[in-house]
Chain A
Amino acid sequence: MRDINEHTAGEDLIIKTSVRLMVPFIQVFGLYVIVHGHYSPGGGFQGGVILGASFILLALAFGMKASQEYMTVSVNAVFNNLGPAIFVGVGVLCTLFGGLFLDYSALDNLIPLGVVEWRSFGIFLVEVGVGVAVMSIMVLLYWNLSSGGAMDEGL
């Protein structure tokens, strides 16, 4: 958040300052929800929505151009493809090592950590994939909706 005030003039100081204070805590909370998703309420979808909402909040307060310095359109496109790739990659990796699709216990043949530990950790990997995909799709939906597809300036 170095020089974000230079980009947009005329917005309210209270909104800018409060958003600047809130966004790091929202993102840490989103990561917490993703990481603790497999044994407490939450998970990849909810945490991804929270992470995406933090970028939407930046775009609302500072303008879309200034917020796209923190997540550019090309980085968003990479995340769009990385999330489903993690999900399907974990599933296919399970089939390659002798299990069914998304049968995480088969990954024990790849790295021997124990079958029960792999069942827990495999769900975590899939949740990370879901979180990355949902975050980038939510941000992309907001950009397209509020700018009419041009993705330069909007709400």
Chain B
Amino acid sequence: MIWQIDLMILTLVVVCALVAINTKDLLGATVIFGIYSFLMCLLWAEMGAVDVAFTEATVGAGVSTIFFIAAILRTTRRSKD
């Protein structure tokens, strides 16, 4: 555990979360959410929880991004609010 790397990744995670919430384009928000998941995976791997990091990389960054894109394809791309 190196606290400098932890702090750096944590800052990027918070920035990615805020950007993903505030983006009006849902496809862009999905891509940023994938980046968020991958940074979270990096943070967990750095803190020693390799099993959780593995789950986050496969489910969070991999499959759920595809599910969101498939759902956007069937609904609308622009957010109303």
A residues contacting B by CB (< 8 A) are: 33, 41-43, 45-46, 49-50, 52-53, 56, 60, 138, 141-142, 145-146, 148, 154-155
- Number of interchain pairs (Cβ within 8 Å): 45
A56 B66 Cβ-Cβ under 8 A = yes
- CB of A54, distance to nearest CB on chain B (Å): 11
Hey, which bits of chain B sit against chain A, CB under 8 A?
Answer: 50-51, 53-55, 58-59, 62-63, 66-67, 69-71, 73-74
Residue of A nearest to B74 (CB): A148
B71 nearest CB across to chain A (Å): 6
Set A33, A42, A52, A146: member contacting B63, Cβ < 8 A: A52
Q: Which 3 A-B pairs have the closest CB atoms?
A: A146-B70, A41-B50, A145-B70
Given A42-B51, A49-B63, A52-B63: A142 and B58 interface contact (C-beta under 8 Å): no
Instruction: Give me 20 A-to-B residue pairs in the complex whose CB atoms sit less than 8 angstroms apart, sorted by A's number.
Output: A33-B54, A41-B50, A41-B51, A41-B54, A42-B54, A49-B58, A49-B59, A49-B62, A49-B63, A52-B63, A56-B63, A60-B66, A138-B63, A141-B67, A145-B67, A146-B70, A146-B73, A146-B74, A154-B70, A155-B69
